[in-house]
Structure 1
């Protein structure tokens, strides 16, 4: 559509950022809530592909509403990439064994959200929106509750 690589990369990054915002949304919780009832059930960690495909239609229309015709595809693609990164990260945090300090920290952060501080720490791929919305658990709370 006549955009440079840098412009397309920027659109994709905006889409990923948009997804990280959606992953903290109440509507997302309603769709993902069953996982909170059964957080160790491996069959409930990722959204079923057929349902995800159906939800792509309203997500596409939302993106189309807030972007220009030439940027819609890039932003939508970034949102899908953000979703796939979220699903893979979320599954790994439950079933993987991170070997790096950042990975272990993210796993602890997410499991604290499930089992200790359910009203804080909603971000999976990023803590950005927890900072913005004031839902970042305090380090003191995380340490106290982990003990």
Structure 2
């Protein structure tokens, strides 16, 4: 019989040790008797780096619970992220008194040093969903096949470099060869963008957030969207790889050709692709905190609420239009629109 090794008891830190770590430039905090050494380069703090700087070495319990005038109640996602950086307990706290029999929070369900997909399919659905629902950091490998892993990681700039010329060619084709009057193109582009935003919303809400009930369902859920909710700062997986995006565009085009003449279908697809480019680059900017002309505070709040507060709201990425129409607007956004 194999006996599991006992978990290591957490280290007990004195207040002076915490202050010393903070004076060295480390983003160390105490909260509810525990000590956290946060790697700020791994996270995006919506309140900005200045807030993290101002609280270094301090007890953030009240701020984290929204019990002081300059703070707010932090979400379940924020609490899950904070626990990733727990390094011990504070001397004199209740946790310190019980340190001999207490283990630090961990996530031993999977080994992040190994490919994740072969592991998550062995979790039961409820356990899997609870694990995905607790955001983490880093860039763990998803597939055990190195080629597949490489092909599913895409840098954000690939999206505009690949798809903007294709959109321009489709618009030119619709006008020059498809008989679409030039004055109709702006309206067709606008319609294409609005249709894409509906597709974006629908895929996100009714496909990506379909709850899995079988190992095969867990497999597809994790590949399509579960990985992103578990690792929202994995920059290599913030935009769609070209192959699956191309399949969606091909389906979109065939549907359009069945409804309207091919020249108009080309122009509408060109507008839809431009909408897709805005969607993917906006999604990148929302997570990376990079500047983007289409990112507003409303979009940022909506998407952060979707990830860290309630994944049943905020399905629109490039727009909140369909969240408004379908009643899935985040309560925080509803206060300002």
Q: TM-score range by the shorter chain?
A: 0.7 to 0.9
Q: Is 1:93 the counterpart of 2:93 in the alignment?
A: no
Greater strand share, 1 or 2?
2
Q: Pick from 314, 327, 337: which aligns with 1:121?
A: 314
CA distance in 1, matches of 2:299, 2:307: 13
Greater helix share, 1 or 2?
1
Q: Is 1:77 the counterpart of 2:77 in the alignment?
A: no
2:194 matched residue in structure 1? 17
2:180 matched residue in structure 1? 3
By how many angstroms is 1:105 displaced? 3.1
> Cα gap change, 1:28/1:118 in structure 2, threshold over 3 Å: closer, same or farther?
closer
1:27 matched residue in structure 2? 207
Deviations 1:73-122 (A, max 9, x none): 0101111111111000000010025599x723321221111110210111
Moved more, 66-75 or 117-126: 66-75
Q: Is the 8 A contact 2:306 2:312 kept in 1?
A: yes
By how many angstroms is 1:33 displaced? 4.2
- Higher Rg: 2
What is the aligned-residue RMSD (CA, Å)?
2.5
With structure 2 as the length reference, what TM-score do the two structures score? Answer: 0.38
Contiguous gaps of at least 5 residues in structure 1 = none
Q: Pick from 253, 257, 260: which aligns with 1:64?
A: 257
**More contact order relative to length (CA 8 Å, sep ≥ 6):** 1
Q: Pick from 210, 225, 235: which aligns with 1:42?
A: 235
Deviations 1:14-65 (A, max 9, x none): 1100110011112355644432232111111101112212332212112222
Work out the number of aligned pairs and report it: 142
With structure 1 as the length reference, what TM-score do the two structures score? Answer: 0.82
Q: Is the 8 A contact 1:98 1:104 kept in 2?
A: no
